[in-house]
Amino acid sequence: MRKPSVQKLVLTAMFFAIGLMLPFLTGQIPQIGRMLLPLHLPVFLCSLIVGWPYGLAIGFLLPLVRSLLFIMPALYPTAVEMAFELAAYGFFAGFIYNRLLALKVGKVVSLFTALIAAMVFGRIVFLIVRVVLCVLSGSAFDFGVFLADAVVNALPGIIMQIVLVPTMMLSLEKSRINTEPTQRNY
């Protein structure tokens, strides 16, 4: 088993710290947080820059740790749902991006494809987790409420992610900071 490099661990810790602090920009107001999705940005960037195992790990841990430290988001059901959703984002964004780069697909196309595919798959995971939690708690599942939470209310954050993540990645590349993942054997 290969040991993770110090650089990957430091970058992952930095993205985790950003994820802990970024929601304070929304003033800890849940309605604004649900619109702007501040925890998503560091997870996407970590998975694209460091790799999917790291993105998956911070995606799962970030909402849970934030809930335990700052009581936002509420641990159950919100942080639990978010843990699985963000872990899926971290996995799919990094995995798809890495595979597309290995196939010599252009960086811009790889970024947008990985980002949009991860958003779709992450929301599918979110749907599954929400249904399971509703069944376990005995409460009713309302698909309309889910669509409002996962898509309609989140539209400003989705648009922001589609604009900011590729812009940040391309800016890092222009500044000659290596954002291309090394060949990984995950």
d(CA 176, CA 24): 30
pLDDT at 178: 65
The tens digit of pLDDT for each residue in 27-79 reads 767 788 888 999 999 999 999 999 999 999 999 999 999 999 999 899 999 99
pLDDT at 185: 47
Residue ranges of the domains in the chain?
6-174
pLDDT at 12: 96
Q: Which residues of the chain have pLDDT under 70?
A: 1-2, 28, 178-186
Amino acid at 165: V
Architecture of domain 6-174: Orthogonal Bundle (1.10)
Structure-derived torsion over alpha carbons of residues 45, 157, 137, 140, reported in degrees to the nearest 10: -150
pLDDT at 46: 97
Cβ proximity of 115 and 162 under 8 Å: yes
pLDDT at 117: 98
